[in-house]
Amino acid sequence: MDLVRQTLLRTLIPAAILVAIAILVMRYGQPYQIRVGYVFFINLTMVVGLQIFMGNSGTASFGHAAFSGIAAYTVAILMTPLMLKRTLIPDAPFNLDQVVLGPIPSIILALLVTGVVAYVVGLAISRLKGVGAEIGTLAFLVIVHVVFTNWIELFRGPRAFYGIPIISNLWWGLGASIIAVFVAKLFRDSKYGVQLRASSDNMLAAKAMGVPVDRLRLIAWTLSGIVVGAGGVLLATNLGTIAPTSFYFNQTFLMMAMLLLGGMRSVSGAVCGTIVIALGSEITRTLESGPVLLGIDFPEMFGLTGFFLGAVIVLVMAFRREGILAGEEFEDIWDDMTRRLRRDKAPAAALDER
């Protein structure tokens, strides 16, 4: 309970930042900015979810976009009105074309399904180590994508699944991201998180000390899958339309660039990276459409956003491997700063220390 209370306190700074962003967007934003703000919160939820696995286990995952897809499609299939479903997926297996649920049970079921899939896949992934596990996550992404695009009776194949009731708004996104941050911090500071982080620094030593590394990786993987799934739920219930490509490569490297730029070792890093990339990709998106700036007519350049995201990853890896925050949390930085300020005010005390 103590840990929960502490974590709640430690969530205050990021929560305050997020609330400020939400209020700013809702107060002054046009519909376009509100949309961008919502997408920001969706991505934030997913990136923080991804941080739970990558940050604690030190293993890269290319597969998490699949979890957002699984959750999004589950919500879509459960929630879409029967009338529409008869045209969209008339031959759905398990009589799913005749079932419709309310928002809350749909969302809970979606997260549950995602969790179960994550657990089962995690049984395999957590057995593999290092590079093998990372390639395993990539194979998982491809498998899920192949299933989405080929199981036409259930997922409509490569075509879009539309008509999902639009029930969520920016406040949902804000709420989900704050919960995600809380969960990620709770896990990071829990016994499990501490042990898992220790094991990612030195696997053999941790194993020798009796840390059940495989089980901790499985727990982190499953939990992080569910949180990323929550992002998928937000996506489906806000856009109303989803397609397999929404949960494939572009989403994977967007999340990856966000997490790595901020620094995958801390939850604050995930938040920080998502904010920077969200702002940056708005700029590149403007450039992509070929605007007229300072009297110069720029040509259309599709692919510019992707180009920059890739470049961000390469540059961060080369010059600041631990990301902007280098694994620090906002609170740590805050504590450091206040401590330094106090020391500046009392130079005599500092001298005594020496």
Q: Which residue among 179, 310, 327, 331 contacts another protein (CB under 8 A)? A: 310
CB of 315 to another protein, least distance (A): 8
**Contacting another protein within 42-71 (CB under 8 A):** 58-60, 62
112 vs 142, beta carbon nearer another protein: 142
State both tokens at 255.
Answer: 């999340």
138 near another protein, rule: CB under 8 A = yes
Nearest by Cα to 227 from 166, 278, 168, 185: 185
Establish if 314 lies at the interface with another protein (CB under 8 A): yes
**142 lies in the site for another protein, by CB under 8 A:** yes
Size of interface with another protein, in residues (CB under 8 A)? 47
Question: In whole angstroms, how close is the CB of 332 to another protein at the nearest point?
Answer: 19
- The one among 12, 81, 120, 129 contacting another protein by CB under 8 A: 129
Q: Is 209 in the site for another protein (CB under 8 A)?
A: no
User: Is residue 302 a contact point for another protein (CB under 8 A)?
Assistant: yes
Binding residues for another protein restricted to 246-285, rule: CB under 8 A: 249, 253, 256-257, 260
Does 134 contact another protein by CB under 8 A? yes
Q: Does 128 bind another protein (CB under 8 A)?
A: yes
User: Residue 220 interacts with another protein (CB under 8 A)?
Assistant: no
Closer to another protein by CB, 4 or 152: give it. Answer: 152
Q: Is 340 in the site for another protein (CB under 8 A)?
A: no
- Residues of the shown chain interacting with another protein in the complex, contacts defined by CB under 8 A: 58-60, 62, 123-124, 127-136, 138-139, 142-143, 146-147, 149-150, 203, 249, 253, 256-257, 260, 301-307, 309-314, 317-319, 321
